Chain A
Amino acid sequence: MGGSCRRISQFVLKVHSRCDLSCDHCYVYQHADQTWRGRPVRMSAATAQSAARRIAEHAREHELPVVHVVLHGGEPLLLGAAGLRELLAELRAAITPWTRLDLRMQTNGVLLDEELCRLFVEYDVQVGVSFDGDRAANDRHRVFAHGGSSHDHVRRALALLRRPEFRASYAGILCTIDVRNDPDRVYEALLAESPPRVDLLLPHATWDHPPLRPGSEPTPYATWLGRLHRRWVDDGRPVSIRMFEALRPGGGGTEAFGLAPADVLVIEADGSWEQVDSLKTAYHGAADTGFDVFDNSVDEAARHPGVAIRQDGADGLCATCRACPVVDRCGGGLYAHRWRTGSGFDNPSVYCPDLLRLIDTVDAYPPPTPPAPADRSATSPVDELLDDLATGHGSASTLALLAATQLSITRALLAACRDRSGTTAAWELLVHLDRAAPEAVRAVLEHPFVRAGLVHRLDSSAPPGLSAAVDPLPAIATAAALRAGVPATLHVPVRADAITLPTLGSLVLPGLTESAEVTVRPGELQVRGGSVEQTVLLDPLAPPSASWRPTRDVAVPGGRVLLEDGDPYRDCYGQPVESRLEGPAARALGRTLAAAWEVVHRDVPAHAAALDGGLRAVVPLAPDPARPLRSATARHAFGAVAVTPHPDPETMAVLLVHEWQHAKLGAVLDLYDLVEPGESTRIRVPWRPDPRPPEGVLQGVYAHLAVTQVWQSRAATDPGDASAHAAHFLGWTRDGVDALLASRSLSAAGERFVGQLRHALEETVVGSR
């Protein structure tokens, strides 16, 4: 089978083909396709293994940056905690060596309990819950087989996901609309569940089985959704509603709208590859491809004509759609909704008149800040990342993505240094080690101050070749060789009689000149330069060498964190850093940090997970009696924070949470403009007397939101001072957010981010009652 093949990044796994609800609008059981009757009840371990291998194979061959896997059904929770754990472990083990795995689940929520929530947090699974709104709306369709209501069951599941310890796994709500329901009550019921995102679905219908249109109105769906859209805009878009965002110019990001190529395949419980699930509404067997995961690759399934035609954009649509002025907005609507016996899918959507009018409505009642042209490319990936961070903390998956982008930036800076200096022995050693021992190179490049050194090098005004004293590549390569146990010899620049090997330590040898020859051998370093010729044993069992000052680390709940008091590039905080700590002081700081980390886990587990995911080094700041309690974060040193070595773990915990917020947001600002470029507005804030730039205010509110959450948690057991602190920081955050939104200085992405922050803030307020 020939032809080019598009990369597929979304996979829906039908892990269980039965359901514990009996919803009469369900396309799986109640519509034309009835293939579920012949499927196994649950996906077997062998099928799951083959599916995971196929996805991993595709990710590897196409170098996919991310793969989304959605556990679906039937009802996936019927697999049970043990079955789900086995499946999740299989997927993670097979796929994560090759790409970032974004795990999701769509469930009715009925069986969700604490054990399952813990499992989903552990495996970083984002859970979407199907919920149709207020009791009357939800129970119109979403009932048990005996006719009983599911409303309370689903609300209980949503309440579980809202709990701070499980919030990271709360993806949002999927609501199928019914025009007989009250749109205001549905809207209010959805908002009451504080979802990170809402997706509204039109009920599945075709030209053979048109949608319900009660009364004489020709476009009741446009009317109903238009009403909900107006409420949403008037309320300041308090939650992301994907349908409305997708219908905006440049929207997309959903299968239902836009002309983006279809990027999804389904794996049925028996291992069959299928096309998009919604086709089941068209006719029996409509989603079949004839392929399965045992004998066929993703590429083969993606070349199936039914999938291939979805890659053609407007050319794959009917003549009516191709001639329509808003075809780029609706994209012909959902593929399944175009079906008519005889002409197949070569028709406009059966919802075409509603979609036309709804697009007019969206255009006529625009959001407060329409996106600037430069932001139109910022669709779903940006939204997902920002929405997740706007919860106040961010999931482990988002932290991993941010850390990966920071590593990638460091690698790009390394390559830029190579461009500047040409090919050197240090570069050639790094290239060799990148092939032979990539983990060693990665460990060094992830050190927070490597980027600072590279930036310093690239920022130098010295012409190429004349600034060897600040060339960081030899030290980076030597550190990587040492970590890899690979013998090597390089000339390494010397600064203040010292050579610092990132992550490992510093050689301090008075008498060295501008550079020294450093030879790496297993367990030792040999140094020759100036009047110095010395061998330094690195074996921890060997007598300590006075000239080798190893970087010390501390065991913390997230792993190990470095006490970085030797790297010269740590001096990037705009205030003096402490020189190397004496042993007792280092041990005392280590104890405080370990205890503080435990406190963060106790108070705000979601923030602790984010801390575990990225904080690698803590820099002691020099003492200043006038300002004994200080902390700082530097944009060029993701993964590190600087603190004065305060002995109280409770205080240190607040500093860590505060600074880590800055680190995360700094990494985001490397990627996106949240403030309009060139914006010169200054904003008055409650925490300083002088007006501040918008980006400073943004950093402030993000940090203060987290600190508010720490104090609120403490207020549960200490209603005195902790409550007062919580109220204090809450007021700062709220005033800062409102001032930012009123300043009109944010980009569209920034408006969205701060709007979501305000929503998180309201939840914080609710949580404090």
Chain B
Amino acid sequence: MDHAPARPSRPDLDDLTRSLHTPLERIGVEHADLIEAVRRRVVTNAAVPSGSVAVAAFNSSI
């Protein structure tokens, strides 16, 4: 059985603020889960919840 914790589905506030203190060269190693969470949450074509206003102009979306 795999006991590895599930990756976070969204970037964690503490992780985000803490990663600001990590030099760029180490960020990929020390915050790999955060990078994956950001990639999933933010990058277009990642799973976007139905009905969300993901990109573009809010004024035409509200």
Contact = CB atoms under 8 A, between A and B. Distances in A.
B2 interface: no
A636 B54 CA distance: 9
B51 A632 contact: no
Interface string B7-26: 00111011011111101110
Interface in B9-46: 9-11, 13-14, 16-21, 23-25, 27-28, 31, 34-35, 38-39, 41-45
A459 B44 CA distance: 6
B13 to A, nearest CB: 6
B20 A408 contact: yes
Contact of B24 (A415, A572, A636, A678): A415
Contacts of B20: 404, 407-408, 411
Contacts of A673: 10, 49
Nearest to B52: A695
Contacts of B43: 413, 416, 455, 458-459
Interface in A570-603: 572-575
Nearest to B18: A65
Contact of B51 (A66, A412, A658, A675): A675
Contacts, number: 164
B62 A632 contact: no
Contacts of B21: 63
Contacts of A407: 20
Interface SS of chain A: helix, strand, loop or mixed? helix
Contacts of B17: 65-66, 100, 401, 404-405, 408
Interface residues on B, range: 35 or more
A100 B42 CA distance: 24
Given A408-B20, A411-B24, A671-B10, A416 B56 contact: no
Nearest to B37: A412
B50 A687 contact: no
B24 A670 contact: no
A455 B49 contact: no
Nearest to B38: A412
Nearest to A434: B24
A680 B50 contact: yes
A110 B44 CA distance: 53
Nearest to B57: A632
Nearest to A419: B28
Contact of B19 (A412, A441, A574, A703): A412
A710 B24 CA distance: 42
Interface in A666-694: 666, 669-673, 675, 677-682, 685, 687-688, 692-694
Given A404-B16, A459-B43, A671-B13, A573 B28 contact: no
Contact of B27 (A63, A412, A658, A677): A412
A631 interface: yes
B55 A630 contact: no
Interface string A531-550: 00000000000000000000
Contacts of A636: 42, 55
Contact of A632 (B23, B39, B42, B60): B60
A700 B59 CA distance: 8
B58 A687 contact: no
A413 B42 contact: yes
A100 B18 CA distance: 11
Contact of B39 (A441, A458, A675): A458
Q: Top 4 nearest A-B pairs by Cβ distance?
A: A65-B17, A632-B57, A700-B62, A693-B51
Given A404-B16, A408-B20, 4 more contacts: A413-B39, A455-B44, A680-B50, A699-B61
Interface of A: 63, 65-66, 100, 374, 381-382, 385, 401, 404-405, 407-409, 411-416, 418-419, 430-431, 434-435, 441, 451, 455, 458-459, 572-575, 630-636, 642, 658-659, 662, 666, 669-673, 675, 677-682, 685, 687-688, 692-697, 699-700, 703
22 contacts: A374-B9, A385-B13, A405-B11, A405-B13, A411-B20, A412-B27, A412-B39, A413-B38, A416-B39, A458-B39, A459-B44, A573-B57, A632-B56, A633-B57, A634-B56, A662-B58, A670-B42, A672-B10, A692-B62, A696-B61, A699-B61, A703-B62
Interface of B: 9-11, 13-14, 16-21, 23-25, 27-28, 31, 34-35, 38-39, 41-45, 49-62
